[in-house]
Amino acid sequence: MLPRRPLSRFAAALALALLGPATAAADLPDDAPPHHYEVIATLDPEAHTIVGSVTIRFTNTSRVPLTELRFHLYMNAFESEETVFMKESRSSLRGVRARGEGSIELETLRVEGVDRLGRADDELVENDHTQLSVPLTTAVEPGAQIAIDATFTTHLPPLFARAGYSRDFHVGAQFFPKLAKLEDDGTWASFPYHGNGEFYSDFARYELVVDVPEGWVVGATGARTSDRSEGSRRVMRFEQAWVHDTVFVAAPWLEELLGREGDVAIRVLHPPGYGSAAERHLEVTRAGLRHFGEVLGEYPYAQLTVIVPPRGAEGGAGMEYPTLFLTAGPWLAMPRLPFIAQDEVTAHELGHQWFQGIVATNEVAHPMLDEGLTEWITGDLLHELHGRDRSGVDLPFLRLDGFAIRRAWSLGDDEPASPPATAVGDFRSSMDYGRSVYARTSTVLETVARSWGREKLRRTLGDYARRHRFGHPEPADLYASFDRSYGPWMSARVLRPALEDGELAAFRVMRFEPGDEGARVTVQRAGSLPIPTQLRVVRGDGSVEWIPLSGRPRFDGTIEGDVRSVRVDAARNALLDRSRLDDGAGDRPSTGLLARALHFAQSLLGVFGP
């Protein structure tokens, strides 16, 4: 079939009516957020620049008078090889290398109508201009509000680290001067741009006006509330309250697929030829809104935009923002094969709408509350969508049960990975960060789910997510939810040792000597985590006996009868083990190689296409 054309003006107006106004679907706070941003952005797709302005009505929500403002100018992370981001990432992030520079130039900055740009300091870290300190002439008292105005020009880099352009596909993210998060004690949670740490901001009402060439299609945070032509330009306004950022994506060829789940209007924007993939992204998004809504509390906004990036835009793929995320995956849907790429990325980025989006944790100080929790709920959704394969291996957690879990605990033979509760700046590398924050946090949670029940863990995470909506929680708040659900021992004996100290729950079959009178078996426990575990004994006639090992540091004895094999944790509940190769003796189970082969074949198919 022929590729579909961009929306006509009538179709755009109809879509606007279907998407509805910028009202809450459910559970938004009744009062207005304390801050208000109006951002105007004019995109020049030939120069790859955004010329804009921002007007901020800022309220001092802290307990003390403020004598300074802190802004983030994150596009300056790409202005040279000497910035914090470039040094930490070695000019590469998630397999994509930097291919050009980007920056933001502040032209004016006024506070209550008074110019403050000349007094500002933009080099709080040597050779890094991603933070801006602005001294105030008059202190802002607690509860007082001030007006801030700025104009700027942002030079987008070739698409890398979430923002930039790939040909005529543009991602406008972190492109305007934005205030850092103001804490209750009057300090600013300000930090340079980190590739892995991402963002932390106050909630506000955002109005974003995007000015693009006529015929271009735009997706952005919030609902589109107006759409008009001005000569050869198309100007759209998007609005949303109780979000902590605003972004837009624009291209002339984006095609639109509309859907709805309950009160939430869903808009999928995708390249020509990606129609079947877009339909699958929509299907998974709808399933995720249902599942995450039941577990974590309803999605509170009236709209959600899903962007499917084109080939060559991998630098912006797989990234979340309030009410909008960029997914990834092949150009076609392959629903009959396991490990559907569309499913995993879409489920993960949708999960971020709750962790970190709605609860809004500090992603630099506590990345496990963002990526770690999201990684587990991603697998939980995929578990609901796909279940188990014939080999008995949970598809969503295959990488945990198989070869990847053995690499999650270390970076090399003698270099252990950092604990998940490590702050972003303290990880030794992106590999250290990924294996710890993603793999290890989700492994801890999956071990809890399999050992004490999946529904109980869902209720616990639901308690945490609901209690701390729009609340900026910390790890202690997560631990408190677990202690309420499981008892005060859970955080002290399981979560803190596993997440903060890197403690394990490993077992090793030290001896297996079958004989005519029985089998001599020795099992050694390594690690102090009290994970309930059993030893499975399979006899020659096929009968099975289960021997509890909970609380035992060591099992050493003779098992009577004809014993064919023994295996610790045969159900694969305790995943906190560096290697499962020493967990059994005798006959060995299937390793699920067919599922891995199908996953590889599917990934290969996704390389070819539009």
- Answer whether residue 141 shows pLDDT above 60: yes
Distances (CA, A) of 94 to 89, 119, 316, 424: 9, 37, 10, 15
Least confident among 12-26, 120-134, 549-563: 12-26
Least confident among 377-391, 450-464, 490-504: 377-391
Specify the pLDDT at position 290.
98
The answer to whether 4 and 255 are in contact (CB under 8 A) is yes
Q: Dihedral, CA atoms, 61, 39, 85, 155, nearest 10 degrees?
A: -160
Residue 251's nearest CA partner among 216, 227, 220, 213 is 216
Which pLDDT band holds residue 517 (cuts at 50, 70, 90)?
confident
Specify the pLDDT at position 392.
37
Residue 208's nearest CA partner among 186, 183, 176, 230 is 176
* Averaged pLDDT, 339-360: 90
In angstroms, the CA 104 to CA 77 distance is 9
- Answer whether residue 126 shows pLDDT above 90: yes
Residue with tokens 């735009």: 218
- Answer whether residue 261 shows pLDDT above 70: yes
Q: How much is the pTM?
A: 0.88
- Answer whether residue 599 shows pLDDT above 50: no
Please report which residue ranges of 354-419 form alpha helices under DSSP H: 371-386, 398-401, 403-407
Least confident among 182-191, 302-311, 324-333: 324-333
- Answer whether residue 410 shows pLDDT above 90: no
Calculate helix-pair angle for 371-386, 341-351, nearest 10 degrees.
130
Q: Residue 211: which residues within 8 A CB-CB, separation 6 or more?
A: 40, 41, 42, 43, 230, 233, 234, 235
With a pLDDT cut of 70, the percent of the chain lying above it is 86
| Residue 596 CB neighbour total at 10 angstroms | 17
Strand spans (E) along 426-491? none
In angstroms, the CA 135 to CA 151 distance is 18
Integer distance in angstroms from the first to the last C-alpha of the chain? 13
The answer to whether 441 and 374 are in contact (CB under 8 A) is no
Specify the pLDDT at position 97.
80
In angstroms, the CA 588 to CA 465 distance is 41
* Averaged pLDDT, 471-480: 98
Phi first, then psi, for residue 276 (nearest 5°) are -70, -35
Specify the pLDDT at position 425.
87
248 three-class SS:
strand
Tell me the two tokens of residue 483.
């202690």
* Averaged pLDDT, 13-24: 43
Tens of pLDDT, residue by residue over 292-311, are 999 999 999 999 999 999 99
Tell me the two tokens of residue 522.
């020795």
- Answer whether residue 181 shows pLDDT above 80: yes
Q: Residue 222: which residues within 8 A CB-CB, separation 6 or more?
A: 22, 206, 208, 238, 239, 240, 243, 246, 301, 303, 322, 323
* Averaged pLDDT, 80-92: 87
Tens of pLDDT, residue by residue over 145-175, are 999 999 999 999 999 888 999 999 999 999 9
- Answer whether residue 9 shows pLDDT above 50: no
In angstroms, the CA 123 to CA 129 distance is 5
